[in-house]
Structure 1
Amino acid sequence: MTLALNVRLDKSGYLIMNRTNLTPLFHLGRIVATPGALDVLQRAGVFPFQLLVGHQCGDGGVLCAEDRAANAGAIVAGGRILSVYEVGAEKIYVITEADRASTTVLLASEY
């Protein structure tokens, strides 16, 4: 399945994703989100699925090189996978557990 995803929120450092061929790399399991994360996303006009699709397809957001390498290993070996997205002044974490039973969307301050 190929999905086109083009998200742009500009002028304030908002999320920008421009990927056209997205292939899921792992299962998300049960998806949960905190009220704080949902509030920030709603105010910014970002749907949670936009972050989840990017996360599941290997777009880690604003991760450093070390965290990107850890994610690559985790996808192969079954470890925890982290993505970090900047939405306005907030950072949103998307974390899939090592057993792939669940994925959580939360504010960095809620971690």
Structure 2
Amino acid sequence: MSYTNGPRFPMGRPVITPGAQAMLDAAGIEGVLLLARHIHGDWGDLSAEDLASNELALLTGKRVLSSYNLPDGRRKVWIITEADRATTTILLPEEY
């Protein structure tokens, strides 16, 4: 994916839960790479309804969600940017 158009929204302060950090470390994935995908509109593995919700959220100032499957195919991490765009959190779905 090309990021030549820049981020689609401000992400605020990035944070990561200890569980998500451990999962990404075990998978050999840098969280910053997932953050880049998220803020550039690559929402990962979402339903058509969730994809549409994200696009609407960009227009209406609601929270934005991305979901990325990890290489093992069984686990995933979520990234959520709050509606006020103050923080973006990388977390495990069960931590929500």
Q: Which of the five TM-score ranges fits, normalised by the shorter chain? A: over 0.9
Identity rate, percent: 47
Residue deviations 1:4-45 (CA, integer Å, cap 9, x gap): xxxxxxxxxxxxxxx123520001111110011011111111
TM-score in terms of structure 1 length: 0.80
Q: Which has the higher helix share?
A: 2
Higher relative contact order (CA 8 A, sep 6+): 2
AA matched with 1:37: A
1:93 to 68, 78, 88: 78
Superposed CA RMSD: 0.9
Please list, as runs of the form range in 1=range in 2, the aligned pairs for 1:3-82 lying within 5 A after superposition.
19-22=1-4, 23-82=6-65
Superposition misfits of 4+ residues, deviation over 3 angstroms: none
Residue deviations 1:43-78 (CA, integer Å, cap 9, x gap): 111000111000000011000000000000101111
Instruction: Give aligned pairs, total.
Output: 93
Tell me the CA shift for residue 109 of structure 1: 1.2
Give 5+ residue unaligned stretches, structure 2.
none
Give 5+ residue unaligned stretches, structure 1.
1-18
Q: What secondary structure does 1:49 align onto?
A: helix
